Amino acid sequence: MQEEKKPARRETLLMLLLLIAGVVAIFSGTKTTGRNDHIALVQRICKKTLYPSTCHSTLSFPISTIVTTKRTVLDLALTTVNTAIKSIIHARLKIKRLRSLPRSPATKDCLLMLDQSLHILRASRTNLRSVFRVRNRRTRNLRQVRSLLAAAMTHRDSCLSGLDDENVFNSSRSGIKNKIVFSKFLNPMKETLSNALAITNKLLKSSERVIAHRRVSELGLGNPGPDEFVVVCSNGTGDYKTISEAVEAAPSSISHRFVIQISPGVYSENIFIPFQKNNLMFVGSGMNLTVIEGNRNMKDGYTTFNSATLAISGAGFLARDLTVVNTAGPAKGQAVALRVSADQAAFYRCNISGYQDTLYAHSSSQFYRDCIISGTVDFIFGNAAAVFQNCLIIVLHPLQGQRDMITAHSRDDPFQPTGFSLQNCSITAPIYNHFSSNTSKYEVYLGRPWRRYSRTMVMGSYLGEEVSPKGWHDWSENAPLDSVELMEYNNRGPGSKISERVAWARYNATREEAVEFAIGNLIDGWWLNATTYPFYFGL
């Protein structure tokens, strides 16, 4: 009987082997199909980037085999961000090991900006990983990732721009050598970040897009209330005598608000808020009562980046009812009063005063409401996504031979979601100019493009007679203008006449184009709900 069962066993074994072979063949075919799909997707994605060769080399291996298309695009974005993180770590390590590298203010700025870029990219990676885990916040998270990637790219560009400034104002060859060294290590970072932005835009287009036309409460929608509160008073009656001491004492990486109440007085100090100090709030006693002043400037050896009286890198920063001023004067060149590199930073009833380069809206999402901003040359500049709502823009008398340029936006990549929006603002000269017969006339322009993809919208605003009929000015004679977006929509006042505007500017923007520069789109303004500042989303 046992002998008769052997053929049956052989048949069973044979069938089992055939079944295993079939399964292996199926999975092998699926794996091959998965790889082919991945290669096809990489080719399709990389074709739409500015640097397809770098894109292909970054994504040349399959992340996974059997995944949905959306998930695969997300994996590609994560891989690209991880590559950018590795490139920054590599660049920092190499640069710090170069003992022959001349140490200068500009190189110190560069190393600081690399640290901030690394922090920003790690936050981008965290947000990307949560995109498909938290479905109801998918679009919001992707917009946040896009903003962070743009900020990291801006830090890289600002590093190299600072080294260029060093070449101009430093008679030695150290600036040239530094620029060569930093460019060598940072160029791959630029290409990888640009590709990451392009892939994130691809994800955003496939996600639900919300354009907010609605108006919200003039007082915002939330009031979380402070969890910690300290007082600064220069006479010693508060918790601290200087603002810098209060900032240093503030906790790091917090989820609540740390409020620093600043008593009336003039505080002569240069304040830096690092990225570790998030969710800080300065509350002054009044725009003209609490004054923070400094006088650092380019002529005295400071970089533009490091000349700021108040420099902010900590996310979620808020300020209200105070003045920030750089007192260096027009003859000292670039002299920043306020530099903001912080994401989701907002200012209410603040006076930001200087001459050249007054407000460095450096990077990330920013909001200014009911503020006064004064200056001469490029006095609102940088590559932030910034909305100025109901602000007073005062153009001061420039040096002989200078022209007043209100804005100078520096977007250098078409995938960066950045731009300036001046909404319902008033642009005028100081009131004494209108009554003094001795005040000579000077040219005032709404702005000029600092980089080839510069974006600025002036809409619903009053333009005084000081504004040139041409409206806008080029950066230099041979600067490309075909890719800039300098636009106007529904303005009023004697300076708003468009009959003599330069041909390359968009002086007759459409409502649809204007909506793209409203709070709901340009800075994804949901985060303003917690500030208690007045604002409106639409036009």
Q: What is the pLDDT of residues 178-209, one digit of tens each?
A: 777 778 888 888 899 999 999 998 888 776 44
Looking at the 3D structure of the chain, how many domains does it have?
2
In a domain, 468, yes or no: yes
Quote the tokens at residue 513.
Answer: 């184009």
Cα 73–chain centre separation = 24
Show which of 164, 182, 206 is a domain's final residue: 206
Distance of alpha carbon 250 from alpha carbon 276, whole angstroms: 10
Q: Is 12 helix (H, G, I), strand (E, B) or coil?
A: helix
Domain that holds residue 158: 52-206
pLDDT of residue 25: 43
Tell me the percentage of the chain whose pLDDT exceeds 70: 82
In a domain, 362, yes or no: yes
CATH number, position 494: 2.160.20.10
Q: Is the pLDDT of residue 65 over 80?
A: no
Contacts of 130 (CB under 8 A, 6+ apart): 137, 141
pLDDT tens, position by position, 421-462:
999 999 998 865 544 444 557 889 999 999 999 999 999 999
pLDDT tens, position by position, 82-112:
999 998 898 888 877 776 666 778 888 988 9
Partnered with residue 359 across adjacent β-strands are 338, 380
Catalytic status, residue 378: yes
> 187 versus 148: which is more confidently predicted?
148
In a domain, 477, yes or no: yes
Show which of 157, 184, 206 is a domain's final residue: 206
Show which of 206, 222, 255 is a domain's final residue: 206
In a domain, 30, yes or no: no
Q: From the candidates 378, 404, 412, 524, which is the catalytic residue?
A: 378
pLDDT tens, position by position, 482-533:
999 999 999 999 999 999 999 999 999 999 999 999 999 999 998 999 999 9
In a domain, 497, yes or no: yes
Confidence band of 37 (pLDDT split at 50, 70, 90): confident
pLDDT of residue 323: 98
In a domain, 150, yes or no: yes
* Share of the chain residues as helix, strand and coil, in percent rounded to the nearest 5: 40, 20, 40
In a domain, 71, yes or no: yes
Distance of alpha carbon 329 from alpha carbon 299, whole angstroms: 11
Q: Is the pLDDT of residue 73 over 90?
A: no
Q: Is 367 helix (H, G, I), strand (E, B) or coil?
A: strand
pLDDT of residue 135: 61
Closest C-alpha among 386, 377, 331 to residue 358: 377
Distance of alpha carbon 328 from alpha carbon 11, whole angstroms: 95
> 342 versus 104: which is more confidently predicted?
342
> 10 versus 379: which is more confidently predicted?
379
Question: Which of 115-119, 152-156, 182-186 has the weakest average pLDDT?
Answer: 182-186
Confidence band of 29 (pLDDT split at 50, 70, 90): very low
Q: Is 130 helix (H, G, I), strand (E, B) or coil?
A: coil
